Structure 1
Amino acid sequence: MRNISVEEFRASCAAAQNLEIVERKGKGHPDSICDAVMDRISVNLSGEYLQRFGTILHHNTDKCLLVAGETAGIFGGGMVVNPMLLVIGDRATFEVEGEEIDVCGIAIDTATGWFDENLRFVKPEHVDYQVELKPGSSELTDIFRRGGELLGANDTSAAVGYAPLSFTERMVMDTEKYLNSAGFKEKYPESGEDIKVMGVRRGKNFDMTVAMPLIDTFVESEEHYFRMKDDLLDAMQVYMADYLEEKEVSVNTSLKLNNLDVPGRGLEGIYTSVTGTSAEDADCGQVGRGNRVNGIISLTRPASSEAAAGKNPVSHVGKIYNILSHRIADRIHTNVPDVEEAYVWLLSDIGVPIDQPKVAAAQLVMKKGAVESVREEVTEVIDTELENIRQFTMELARGMISLY
């Protein structure tokens, strides 16, 4: 028997509240870079461990600092003066019965591959690497030696997830994805990847502010920058109008792009970039400071405190429960009639198998009827997801679920 409870959520759903504030950091944001690279390192280490030893060994690659470099911006194309530094840290398994694993090599190869695939103007010489991964403690590594179908939780940790996303949340997330899509970059190659979208809805008024650098290779002058900016803003306004029409949503909208710009100040008054990311000279990054595992930072929702990216996928509940809570909430909302919104809370007990949380609680906002009418169905959804948690952890290990 699992510790499952189902009760009413004593508040209105997010869409019915007067205020929503939602942020999304694009893939070129320094924090997003750290999350993406470190989680891919975990995925690649998991694959190496599985291939060579038939099991995922102890590792947590969830500590990272991206130290900003230095650039010299110039109209028509600047240069990187000092490279960025990616510090890769925490713990991993380096040796099994005398057989060594090239953890540091895997980490660096993974990082360089990610930059090459995702940031068009970051060259290999633009990033230096410092690997600070070390072997784990004896007690935590022993969790992996104990065996069994499911490992024990490596921590006492709580998580919360919710579903569905509100219109505001989806609008913010989809806008960043559109601006960083291959099609948009092909049409507007001057647009950088370090995109930040901030949306606020107050009743029927929706305001969105976007920060997106223009690659200075494409910028001939200050006047040219503002002409290109106007074109980008027009494209974004068309996208927003089409999006509202498709979703059949009626709100009053306003949209701003690069609101810090000041004409007449040359390069100092406009947002340009050599590489497309502010990590080149302006902003450092860390794991856990970017988007939550559902892809957004929604300030009016409950949120988990764990940084999930890079944690191991088979025993670290800071990763597993963080993402699973959102999946369970989505399954409840999708499969159980009359549930308007679902919140799911999971709490682990260190050392106890991960399919046996100390708390598994659902809190529901109902469209109609009482929670009691769906309690059995909701309990079955939660129980089924926990029963199949082994399959879920393998999806995490293979990188099949986005964490950012």
Structure 2
Amino acid sequence: MERERFDIFISGGGLSGLIAACAFGRLGLSVLCVDPQPAVTDQANPKADRRSTAFLQPARVTLETAGLWTRLAPFAAPLQIMRLADAGGEAGEIRYLADFDAGEMSDSPFGWNLPNWLLRREILAQIDQTANITLRFGVSTTRIVARHAHALVALSDGSQIETPLVVAADGRNSAIRNMLDIGVKTWRYGQKAMVFTVSHPRPHNNVSTEIHRTGGPFTLVPLPDDSGIPQSAVVWMETGPHAAGLMALDDADFMVQANLRSCDILGPLTLTSPRNLWPILSQKADRLTGPHTALMAESAHVVPPIGAQGLNMSLGDVQALVDLIESGADLGSIAMLTAYERKRMPDITARVSGVDMLNRAALLESPNLRALRLKGLQFLNETTPLRRAAMRAGLGA
């Protein structure tokens, strides 16, 4: 079979890989993106990704660079206020609220929230109109051989690709990371995340709310209204056995428990989607590069769904690569890859460590430790320098 050549090869067609393809394609580069699984873009499909993604302000810049924001903006729910609620008392009632309003520091909201299945639909529609981007679903990467000027990539369909730059966006169990013998540190919490969408009688008023008790936060993230009825995405983190027990309930009994856990903050919640269960862990690759290869997204870092850090970190990876390409860096060169690692690794390390600390605090079960967590939230909210630092982090700085 004749060898094909592309400027950039992306292994992994999840959201990060698809956005990266759009961003590189807008630079006039030829891009091939492959993924072993087909993309699900229909909300009614049982395999649809029910999670949502909150894009923080820097991520919007990347989406604009990739030519995607005008497509996505009509479907996005702005996140104007980030609300932290402590419900760690014996009765489980909310005993302290801390509201962080983006208006205190910015003319724009903290971010914008969109359903993942819809993101895939719109990104694929954009790619379909971009001649220099090629997608192949049902295809995986089987081997990479580095040469002096390029890498040779073998694919499961028998084709061979020659490229100066391989971008590994193939997830937390990255095959490319394993091929390059790059180690990874993993933190496990014994948690699962239950993901679903709800409607509710009270408007969310563009407030994203994290309710902390035990087991992890119960987070309500605004979605656009549906026929005038307020909607939110829910990420409910619990210990593994508790999550398994909740998922075993029928929808009616499950929502009884969900309403108790929501502390009635938006009124009675009504389930509007199937429920999905996701494992929770943190992960960081020992390094971000190999010969002609850059690791990005979950092949490089994984964090629990706290503070909307996950995909936003991934778009930080994309933007770093875009900036290097625009600066004239030689694709896939040692100099380019060294600069990429130097740019991204400190930020990744800080954010993985920070989210790990926050998640461990959310897991606290002892009443005394929960009381300490409450004091910490009060101190954060009422100490101006700390409050402003937290808001800068929330804005993606």
Both proteins in one fold, TM over 0.5: no
Instruction: Give the alignment's TM-score, normalised by structure 2.
Output: 0.26
Q: More relative contact order in 1 or in 2 (CA 8 Å, sep 6+)?
A: 1
In our comparison, the structure showing a higher alpha carbon Rg is 1
Instruction: Give the alignment's TM-score, normalised by structure 1.
Output: 0.26
